[in-house]
Structure 1
Amino acid sequence: MRIQAIDVLMCSPGRTFCTVKITTDDGLVGYGDGTLNGRELAVASYVTDHLAPALIGSDASRINDIWQFCYKGAYWRRGPVTMSAISAIDQALWDLNAKALGVPVHRLLGGRARDYITAYPHCSGHTVEAALEEAGARLAEGYKAIRIQAQVPGLATAYGVAKGDEEYEPASSTLPDVEEWDTGAYLDFLPRLIKATRDELGYGFELLHDGHHRLTPSQAGWMGRRLEPYRMFWLEDPTPEEDQQAFATVRSLTSCPIAVGEVWNSVYDCQQAISGRLIDYIRIPVTHGGGLTHLRQILALADVYGVRSGMQGASDISPIGQAANFALDWTIPNFGMQEYMGYPEETWAVFTPHYRVEDGVITLDDTPGLGVEVDEEAAARYPYTPKSLPVNRLRDGGMYDW
């Protein structure tokens, strides 16, 4: 079972995706997701120009050896582009190896550790009332957890809230849109939003919110203390993640659970935060974390220190990447929560998943491999369209974290 070809499929069926296809000399095909929102072409180039030529002819059954070759064999390591490219190769190898054995990937990972995967959707609105209406609707659908975001009064834009009546999509133009931010207004507003959510909808569900790296560590601690009475499941990304020790300050100031990691890409990015018990949930997804092979290592380390999973599942990760997330969710002992944002209708013309999302939970079947079929002819009808994530400026014009 030798690697005969490695191809990159770029398409934009509602969202932009970077899919890697590995074909073996005996006709097996495996697919992996290398989507990196706004930087997909960099990942495609890394795969096409650097990994693929070196891997042709390799034994596709040697997943661990190929992972080490891609990682340790490169002097320039880590980072989101490198790890997303390696992840796409790794996912495709797991997919085709499981197909060769006629079993789903989760069987190769040790089998189910639970009966279903608890998921949370995004609930948002331009007003508190609109956000609560959407949250109530999602709870009525059977979801047991929700993430709530609302537009901060006085700001023209808000993270997690659509610009108009369409579905939320942050990557919306060829060049970055400029958004406006005021930290003080957000600090004043968020406790009111969370209190209103609990007052209106009660406590019979898990409640999450994403700070999206907008606060200093001391501000994050201040915010966490004010959210403690409302039994948050987590406060996500309250402060920028480059400095792992910053979360020691947050931890010292609040008992509010903290979820971090969607912009981390390797075990070294999160080693201190996990081993120091500075966070409660690790959010690295398979697609950006070096694949199933590497994320298993990260989650095993997390389990030792009582940190649970909370893998990113926004719709800028393709259904293939989601299926890889779900395979780990079903099999690890320290599962916490799974984000599931959903997809535009056009996405399903290209990707046919065999996982099910129903009544707020996700289940898998025994389809061999990752369980996602790819219609390459349909993908060709949705040519790649470049999109960029926004940038953030303060009211005085200074750059700020988006």
Structure 2
Amino acid sequence: MATVERAEVLLTSPGRTFVTLRITTSDGVVGLGDATLNGRELAVATYLRDHVVPLLIGKDPARIEDMWQYLFRGAYWRRGPVTMTAIAAVDVALWDVKGKVAGLPLYQLLGGRSRDGVMVYTHASGSSVEEMLEDADRARELGYRAIRVQAAVPGVAGTYGVKKNGRYEPADHALPDEQLWSTEAYLDFAPGYLRAAREHLGDGVHLLHDVHHRLTPIEAARFGREVEDVKLFWMEDPTPADSQDAYRLIRQHTTTPIAVGEVLTSIWDVKDLITERLIDYVRCSVVHAGGITHLRRIYDLAALYDVRSGSHGASDLSPVTQAAATHLATAIPNLGVQEHMGYPDLTAEVFHGGATYADGSLHVSEEPGLGVTYDDAAAARFEYEPRYLPVARRLDGSVHDW
């Protein structure tokens, strides 16, 4: 019987920092798992290196479910983004190993194809409405059938989601960038530019918008009702999901579809949202919600209540996660859409292979396992660089949800 012989925690910063877990079995099979937690990367790296890796050595890599339960239930201190990201890294790496041992791409182990490709959405933004529309045109020319639109609110420097120099990477400061925010200005401005986007793009493009936890429940309810004529595919994270009860109030006032889950890490965090049909799309990610094993449970629960997947897929998740998410989305029956931002060229020097984009969809690799390899020589050229996500402050100086 093969056992886990070695487990390495790898850090590299090719444009941004990624943490990767590499498991090697006694018969030489290698599996990769993503352990990146944007702005808190070293916390997960330490958790893995000091507390998880010693538990893996000598274990049977085929016992994926047992390992998941061992790391989750056996640790006593459960859940939270650091723990669930570490568990996810192990889980995905073991699935990668299992696929390679079986000689099959991962989606085949998850039940085979439910679809030929995974519809994705990309980001379009601008410092003005005109720039945003131009960016949306570029996305449409690249074949995207679903586009998220964000425009800078005039006079508000802390507008979320607007690209700089053609790319959006919020974690770009050695210490948090403190950004001013005005909810009132946003609520006055955003409905107008969403209508402009719909008029410009027509009804043939799915239109998405990220509120990014910025509103109170009643503000979100009013916003959702005000933009119903835009026919959004979804409004994302209208209010912090710390209280699942808040979404009952929003649901009472608007039929605009709601997507939630990017920062949620377990099935218990979304259980009421799903079973009470308070959301339409669940956005938990492979890397932050305990890996393929646990995210499949979330999707299976969601399918019972007509809630579809909309997994978080920003470029702070490595190509390992993108590949895992695409394999899972290829197999599940209740896909909604998958986020796709792409990666800078430097990232592709470290991570080879994985999912590929064409004609508005991501397509899985047919290589055994995930189909991703890690280039140690390239990774060594990109030393770790600490970067923090921003912090938002209201105009009076008090801290607001970013």
Normalising by structure 1, report the TM-score.
0.99
Contact 2:9 2:19 in 1 (8 A): yes
For residue 195 of structure 2, what is the amino acid of its counterpart?
Answer: K
Shift of 1:198: 1.2
> Are 2:104 and 1:103 equivalent residues in the alignment?
yes
> Quick one: distance in 2 between partners of 1:297 and 1:291?
10
Shift of 1:356: 1.4
1:274-306: CA deviations, max 9, x gaps? 111100000001000100000011110000111
Secondary structure class of the residue paired with 2:345: coil
5+ residue gaps in structure 2?
none
Partner residue, 2:355: 355
> Quick one: distance in 2 between partners of 1:5 and 1:321?
21
Partner residue, 1:129: 130
For residue 154 of structure 1, what is the amino acid of its counterpart?
Answer: G
Contact 2:213 2:240 in 1 (8 A): yes
> Quick one: distance in 1 between partners of 2:303 and 2:245?
20
Secondary structure class of the residue paired with 2:168: coil
Contact 2:158 2:392 in 1 (8 A): no
How many aligned residue pairs are there?
A: 401
> Quick one: distance in 2 between partners of 1:205 and 1:153?
26
Contact 2:322 2:355 in 1 (8 A): no
Partner residue, 2:142: 141
> Quick one: distance in 2 between partners of 1:268 and 1:157?
32
Which aligned pairs between 1:228-307 and structure 2 lie closer than 5 A?
228-307=228-307
Partner residue, 1:197: 197
Contact 1:267 1:298 in 2 (8 A): yes
Shift of 1:377: 1.3
> Are 2:154 and 1:153 equivalent residues in the alignment?
yes
> Quick one: distance in 2 between partners of 1:280 and 1:125?
27
For residue 76 of structure 2, what is the amino acid of its counterpart?
Answer: Y
> Quick one: distance in 1 between partners of 2:359 and 2:384?
33
> Are 2:4 and 1:3 equivalent residues in the alignment?
yes
Secondary structure class of the residue paired with 2:271: helix
Contact 2:145 2:206 in 1 (8 A): yes
Shift of 1:381: 0.8
Partner residue, 2:372: 372
> Quick one: distance in 1 between partners of 2:286 and 2:354?
18
> Quick one: distance in 2 between partners of 1:159 and 1:353?
31
Shift of 1:365: 3.1
Runs of 4+ in structure 1 deviating by more than 3 angstroms, as ranges, are none
> Quick one: distance in 2 between partners of 1:253 and 1:359?
36
> Are 2:222 and 1:222 equivalent residues in the alignment?
yes
Secondary structure class of the residue paired with 1:58: coil
Secondary structure class of the residue paired with 1:286: coil
1:128-176: CA deviations, max 9, x gaps? 00000000111121110000001001112311013x4241110011110
Partner residue, 1:42: 43
1:11-64: CA deviations, max 9, x gaps? 000111000000111111100001000011010111111111112100011000
> Quick one: distance in 2 between partners of 1:400 and 1:367?
45
> Quick one: distance in 1 between partners of 2:365 and 2:70?
32
RMSD, aligned CA:
0.8
Partner residue, 1:90: 91
Secondary structure class of the residue paired with 2:6: strand
Secondary structure class of the residue paired with 1:298: helix
Contact 1:15 1:344 in 2 (8 A): no
> Quick one: distance in 2 between partners of 1:194 and 1:48?
46
For residue 262 of structure 1, what is the amino acid of its counterpart?
Answer: E
Secondary structure class of the residue paired with 1:378: helix
Secondary structure class of the residue paired with 2:368: coil
> Quick one: distance in 1 between partners of 2:212 and 2:355?
29
Contact 1:9 1:21 in 2 (8 A): yes
1:232-289: CA deviations, max 9, x gaps? 0000000011001101111011000000000000001111111111000000010001
Secondary structure class of the residue paired with 2:287: helix
For residue 135 of structure 1, what is the amino acid of its counterpart?
Answer: A
Secondary structure class of the residue paired with 2:143: coil
> Are 2:400 and 1:400 equivalent residues in the alignment?
yes
Contact 2:152 2:159 in 1 (8 A): yes
Contact 2:237 2:260 in 1 (8 A): yes
For residue 400 of structure 1, what is the amino acid of its counterpart?
Answer: H
> Quick one: distance in 1 between partners of 2:353 and 2:241?
32
> Quick one: distance in 1 between partners of 2:115 and 2:144?
17
Partner residue, 2:187: 187
Normalising by structure 2, report the TM-score.
0.99
Partner residue, 2:76: 75
Partner residue, 1:213: 213
